[in-house]
Amino acid sequence: MKKLLMTFGVLLFVLSILLGTSSKQAFAHHNVIWGNMLVKKDQIGKVDIKKNTNIYKMKNKKLVYYKKVVFCK
């Protein structure tokens, strides 16, 4: 029984090493739609609005309507 458990443990360890280390890197698409915004690769601080969107602000820990951003083509 101990030999079987030891063999199973070693096999599990070897499989976790082999399957856990992959040389392939994950990649993302170049453009990501997040809510109503288009976020592009390496984009910092600017978003492209793709449809009319309401903007809200936090006041007293509640979301309060602030303004509407209108999509212009």
Report CA dihedral (14, 17, 20, 22) to the nearest 10 degrees: -110
Q: How confident is the model at residue 64 (pLDDT cuts 50, 70, 90)?
A: very high
Residues 34-61 pLDDT 10s: 777 777 777 777 777 778 888 899 999 8
Phi, psi of 13 (to 5 degrees): -65, -45
pLDDT computed for residue 30 by the predictor: 66
Higher pLDDT, 7 or 21: 7
List Cα–Cα distances, 24 to 19, 20, 27, 30, 41, in angstroms: 12, 11, 9, 18, 20
pTM of the model: 0.36
pLDDT computed for residue 43 by the predictor: 73
pLDDT computed for residue 65 by the predictor: 93
Strand partners, 68: 54
**CB contact set of 70 (below 8 Å; sequence gap of 6+):** 52
